[in-house]
């Protein structure tokens, strides 16, 4: 199941990363729309982050070697989900930093997600 979780996360992060790289303004629009929904908007990302993270830690709770990277990503997503769901006002302040002028940050995140996807793919297929 660990290998399947690595493949799942690699594919997920690859698609998200490519999207961040090619469509940063759409991501700005997405987060602006969520911010416009107020606290309920924070719940959308909170549930998505919690679902992704909970899936990972449920099937890939590995605490040694390079695979620990994915476990840490999973727990990070669980924590992010907790913050979005438990502290939506704080999350709204974080979202205030998402502006068209800072759209380039999504490209940086996209490169990071693609690199992480490559690492996870390598772990799944070549270790």
pLDDT in tens, 99-114: 999 999 999 999 999 9
In the chain, % of residues over pLDDT 90? 98
Structural contact between residues 121 and 50, judged by C-beta atoms closer than 8 angstroms:
no
Average pLDDT over the chain reads 97
> Which pLDDT tens digit goes with each residue over 44-72?
999 999 999 999 999 999 999 999 999 99
Cβ atoms of 28 and 106 within 8 Å: the answer is: yes
pLDDT band at residue 13 using 50, 70 and 90 as cut-offs? very high
**CA of 28: how far to CAs of 22, 37, 65, 120, in Å?**
12, 14, 36, 27
Quote the pTM value. Answer: 0.92
H helix runs in the chain, sequence order = 2-22, 24-36, 39-59, 68-86, 88-95, 104-126
- Whole-number pLDDT of residue 127: 80
Strands (E), 45-109: none
The pLDDT value given to residue 81: 98
Closest by CA to 79, choosing from 20, 12, 87, 44, is 87
Over residues 10-34, the mean pLDDT reads 98
57 to 22, 99, 123: CA distances (angstroms): 29, 32, 16
Assess whether pLDDT exceeds 90 at residue 37: yes
pLDDT at 94 over 90: yes
For 59, phi and psi rounded to 5 degrees? Answer: -115, 0
**Residue where the block lists tokens 């679902």:** 51
Per-residue confidence (pLDDT) for residue 105, from 0 to 100: 97
Would you say 124 and 21 are in contact if contact means Cβ atoms under 8 Å apart?
A: no
What is the Cα–Cα distance from 118 to 127, expressed in whole angstroms? 13
Count CB atoms within 10 A of the CB of residue 89. Answer: 9
pLDDT at 61: 92
């Amino acid at each position: 199941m660990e290998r399947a979780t690595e493949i799942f996360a690699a594919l997920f992060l690859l698609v998200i990363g490519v999207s961040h790289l090619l469509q940063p303004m759409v991501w700005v629009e997405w987060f602006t729309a969520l911010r416009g929904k107020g606290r309920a908007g924070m719940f959308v990302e909170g549930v998505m982050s919690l679902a992704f993270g909970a899936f990972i830690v449920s099937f890939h709770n590995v605490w040694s070697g390079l695979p620990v990277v994915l476990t840490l990503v999973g727990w990070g997503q669980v924590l992010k989900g907790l913050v979005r769901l438990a502290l939506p006002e704080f999350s709204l302040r974080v979202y205030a930093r998402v502006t068209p002028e800072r759209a380039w940050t999504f490209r940086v995140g996209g490169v990071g997600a693609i690199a992480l996807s490559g690492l996870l793919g390598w772990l799944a297929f070549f270790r």
